[in-house]
Chain A
Amino acid sequence: MSKNNKDCLLKVDGLKKYFPMNKGLVKAVDDVSFSINRGETLGLVGESGCGKSTTARTIIRLYNPDSGSIELDGFELASLSQKRLMPHRKKMQMIFQDPYSSLNGRMTVRDIINEPISVHTKLNKNDTKNKINDLLERVGLNAGHANRYPHEFSGGQRQRIGIARALAANPDFIICDEPISALDVSIQAQVVNMLEELQEEFGLTYLFIAHDLSMVRHISNQMGVMYLGRIVEIGESSEIYREPKHPYTQALLGANPVPDPRIVRQKLKIIGDIPSPLNIPSGCRFRTRCPHAMDICSKEEPQLTGSGRQVACHLHT
C-alpha cells in the first residue's frame, strides 16, 4: 500500500477505541490502520460487533479515539478539540443505515438539508434555497418535497434525503454506514448507482460499510475485512474476492449466498459464534473458529504483512 501517495485523502493509523464496561474493557477498535485515496472507495466488511461502525464513528469523531491518528487531507484530527475540529467537520459527512431514525421527524426536509448549510457555509437566503432545490433534484427528488416531513416518504426516498444532507456541506469524504441494508432489493441498486454517480461528479471519497459482500465488491476499490476490532485482511476488492487469503475472509465469502443456483461453491465451514469482545482470545482472535488453527496461533498475534494485499495470519507469514 502506497502510504505516502500524494493522492491519499484519509489516513488512519493505529486507531484504538475502547469502551469501559462494568465487566471489563471492550476493545471495539483495536489498532486499525488503513488509507483511502481521493476519489476512491474503501469497503469495510465484517460481522456485527467486529468494530466496523465504531471505526467509522471514531474517524468522524462521534467518538473520541483512545489512541492513533486520523489524517484527513493532511490535517491531523484525532487530537483536535471539538472547537478546533469544527472547520474540518464539513469535509466529512455520514450517511446512516436506518433512514427512519436518522432523520428528525419534526423537521421538514428543507430544515434537515439546511442544517449543514447554515452551520458550514455563509450562503444567503436565496442561495440556500436554490442549493436545497438543486440537492433535492440531484438525489432524484424535487423542490416540491422540501416542505414535507420524513414520514411522508418511503425508505428509499428517506435515504435520498440523508444523502442530500450529507452532500449539503460539499464534503470530500463520506462515510456510508450500511446505507442500503434497510432498503428493498429493487431500491438498493438505485441508491448504489446514485452513490457511484455522485462520486464521479463530485470526486467524493467513500468509506462504505456493509455486510453484503457482493455489494461491497461492486462499489469499492479497496476492501478491508474486520474481525473483533482488527483488520485481518485488506487490499484490492477484486483481488480479495478472487482469492481470499485469510481463513476468515474465505469463510465470509463462502457464507455469502450467491444468487445463482448453478454456482455451487465449496464452503469453508467455520463453527460457533464470534467470541465476546470482553474476552478476546489470546494470540490470533480468529483461532477459536479457524479450521487451520496451529500452536502458534494461540501464542502470538499475527500482524498485517505484505505489500499491496495485507493479511494478518500465521499461514501467510
Chain B
Amino acid sequence: MDNTLLSIRNLHTSFFTHVGEVKAVQNVSYDVRRGEILGVVGESGSGKSVSYMSCMRLLQEPGRIMGGDVQFKGESLLSKTNRQMRNIRGNRMSMIFQNPMTSLNAVLKIGDQITEPLREHKNMSRAEAKREAISLLERVQIPDAEKRLSAYPHEFSGGMRQRVLIAMAIACRPDLIIADEPTTALDVTIQSQILELMKDLQQDLGTSIVFITHDLGVIAETCSRVVVMYGSMVMEEAPVDDIFHRPAHPYTEGLLRSIPKPGMEDKRLSPIPGSPPVQLSPPPGCPFAPRCNYAMNICRRRLPEFTKIGENHRSACWLLSGHAPSNNFRRENI
C-alpha cells in the first residue's frame, strides 16, 4: 500500500452546460505508484485530461466533481482548502501541458517564471533561486543557461519551450508530474529528444510521471503501466507489454488494429467502426458497446464490472465474466 502515491477512487466529474449535464469522468478508480511512468491513453473526450484537472483541483465552471475521492500520499485532495492546494500544486505535484506557447507567460522572462515556484514554495532568496534556475536549465539541456534566463518565451523554439516547462515542473522536486500530451505539438525528432529527457529525469529524481496521450507509440516507448480510457470510463489497466500483446478489452484491441503494425505495413487497417460517444446522452450499458464487434445484449443494458486477469491486469468487459458464451475475442489474444 505504501507504494501508492496517488489513488483515485470512484471519481465522477460533470460539466453543467446549457444543454445539460456532460458526464466527463465516471467512476474512475486507479492508482499511480511511486517512481513509475503511467500512461493514460484515450481519444479526445475520453475524460483522460479532465480526471487530472479534477485531481489537481483545477476544474473551472461549469465543471464540478460529483463524487469520489483522490488521495495523494494518503491525504484527500478533495477536502483541502484552496490555500492548501496552492502549496501542493507546483510543489509536490506539477503539470506539463501540451502547448508550450500558451502555458508560458509571454510577457515574463523565462528566469522569472522558473524562479517563481522556488521562491514561493522553497522560500529561496532571489540569488539562490537564480542559481537553482540555471542548474535546472542545464539539467534540461538548454545551452547558455545563464544568458537564457533573461529571454522571453517567443525567443525559444517549440522544443526548447517544452524543456523550459519541464524545468519548471521539476523545480521543486515534486513527487508527481502530470504530463498532458507534452509532445503532441512537437516534431518527431524533437519529440524523441523530449521523451528521452523525461525518462532520464524520472530515473534521476525518482518522480512518478503520468503521461496523458493518444499516441500508442509514445506509450509503448515510455510507460511501464497503462490505463485505457473510453467514454469517460476506465476500460482496461495493465502493464505495457500486456496492453500491446495481450489486450483484454475489445476497445484496446480495436485501437491496436487501427494503426499500422511494425512489419505489417502493407495490410489493410481494421478501423473501429462508428464514432466516439457523445457524453450528453451516454448509452446505458458499456460506452463502447455501440462500436464493439463482440457486443452482447447485456453490454447495451448494464455497465460491466472489472475482471481481474493477472496480477496487475484488469478489464471492464462482459466477455470476461463467467456467464459470457465462449467467444473468439480472448482466444485470439491469449
Contacts and interface: CB of A to CB of B under 8 A. Distances in A.
A254 B189 CA distance: 8
A189 interface: yes
Contact of B275 (A154, A262, A263): A154
B220 A196 contact: no
A180 to B, nearest CB: 11
Nearest to B259: A259
A270 B43 CA distance: 31
A207 to B, nearest CB: 19
B260 interface: yes
A257 B157 contact: no
A271 B160 CA distance: 12
B282 interface: no
B6 to A, nearest CB: 23
Interface stretch (A110-118, A209-217, A295-303): A209-217
B269 A273 contact: no
Contacts, number: 123
B168 to A, nearest CB: 20
Contact of A190 (B187, B195, B220, B271): B271
A76 B130 CA distance: 61
Given A185-B43, A188-B258, A261 B220 contact: yes
A257 B269 contact: no
A77 B172 CA distance: 60
A273 B262 contact: no
Contact of B192 (A192, A238, A257, A259): A257
Given A258-B217, A262-B245, A211 B188 contact: yes
B265 A241 contact: yes
Contacts of B218: 257
Interface in A268-282: 269-271, 273-274
B220 A252 contact: no
18 contacts: A156-B275, A185-B214, A188-B258, A189-B272, A190-B273, A193-B269, A196-B268, A214-B259, A215-B260, A218-B260, A238-B266, A241-B265, A257-B188, A257-B191, A257-B218, A259-B256, A259-B261, A260-B220
Interface of A: 47-48, 154, 156-157, 184-190, 192-193, 196, 211, 213-215, 217-218, 238, 241, 251-252, 254-263, 267, 269-271, 273-274
